[in-house]
A and B are shown apart, each in its own frame.
Chain A
Amino acid sequence: NAGVTQTPKFQVLKTGQSMTLQCAQDMNHNSMYWYRQDPGMGLRLIYYSASEGTTDKGEVPNGYNVSRLNKREFSLRLESAAPSQTSVYFCASRKARGHHEDEQFFGPGTRLTVL
């Protein structure tokens, strides 16, 4: 099992460019999440998906879109990157709705710099 994988690991963009961060999990989990981590801010939820075909906004959704392509994959798109989106992005997954004991499993992160 690879767990949660993310591509790319590093990316540098210019202001206004677009890109998609890819995330996949092979644990047959239902829920998937995108977070951003900034120094001194902890992890903040951007979007999450409770199941295939559903997505919902988190704490900081502005400037991002997501797609739950299938049960395995959950992508995060920046349509017009801004320097404020410079951050480390984490994807996570969790087994099932209603299972309060389930932890979230995290990918290795993507370090994104917007110039």
Chain B
Amino acid sequence: AQTVTQSQPEMSVQEAETVTLSCTYDTSENNYYLFWYKQPPSRQMILVIRQEAYKQQNATENRFSVNFQKAAKSFSLKISDSQLGDTAMYFCASPAGQGGSEKLVFGKGTKLTVNP
């Protein structure tokens, strides 16, 4: 079974600082995308950023960027200039494998708290 590991169950950061959330995955897919989702206290799952595995360049979306290391199967999320609204659970997701790009496997999540 494919697995996604988020090794930091909880993290905290001061407002305006930078924080990095780690994720490692294990997929047998060749052409795939990786995703980071955010779940604020409202419970709504929101896409933060996606990375194409074939691209060398790391994806960026405003204050959010990834550090993608394909050989190491590592996909970390960097949040710059942290804001109070970034307080949320963050989930990393990768394809389930075996032709399973239709399905995603999610990590157990990292609870991020941004302190004022």
Instruction: Evaluate contact between B103 and A100: CB separation under 8 angstroms.
Output: no
User: Contacts of A83 on B, CB cut-off 8 Å?
Assistant: none
| B-side interface mostly | loop
Instruction: List the B residue with the shortest CB-CB distance to A96.
Output: B102
Identify A109's interface contact among B43, B95, B103, B107, CB under 8 A: B43
Interface residues of A in 24-40 (CB under 8 A from B): 31, 33, 35, 40
The answer to whether the Cβ of A74 comes within 8 Å of any Cβ in the partner chain is no
Q: Judge whether A103 and B108 touch: CB under 8 Å.
A: no
Contact A42 B106 (CB under 8 A): yes
Residues B109 and A42 in contact, CB atoms below 8 Å apart: yes
Name the interface residues of B77-116: CB closer than 8 Å to any CB of A: 91, 95-96, 101-109
- Nearest chain A CB to B6's CB is how many angstroms away? 8
Instruction: Give Cα A34–Cα B45 distance, bound, in whole angstroms.
Output: 13
Are B102 and A42 in contact (CB-based, < 8 A)? no
B106 contact set on A, CB distance < 8 A: 35, 42-44
- Which of the four size classes fits the interface of chain A? 20 to 34
Q: Is the CB of B43 within 8 A of A48?
A: no
Let me know if B43 and A88 touch, CB within 8 A: yes
Q: Among the interface residues A31, A33, A100, A101, which one has the most CB atoms of the partner chain B within 10 A? A: A100
A-contacting residues, B16-46, CB 8 Å? 31-33, 35, 43-45
For B32, the chain A residues whose CB sits under 8 A away are: 100
With A40-B108, A109-B43 known as contacts, the answer to whether A103 contacts B50 (CB < 8 A) is yes
Q: Chain A's nearest CB lies how many Å from the CB of B9?
A: 8
State whether the Cβ of A16 lies closer than 8 Å to any Cβ in chain B. Answer: no
Interface residues of B (CB under 8 A from A): 1, 4, 9, 31-33, 35, 43-45, 47, 50, 52, 91, 95-96, 101-109
In the assembled complex, 22 residue pairs joining A and B whose CB atoms fall closer than 8 Å, in A order, are: A31-B102, A35-B106, A40-B108, A42-B4, A42-B91, A42-B109, A44-B106, A45-B105, A48-B102, A48-B103, A50-B102, A88-B43, A92-B45, A94-B102, A97-B102, A100-B32, A100-B95, A100-B101, A101-B52, A103-B35, A103-B50, A108-B43
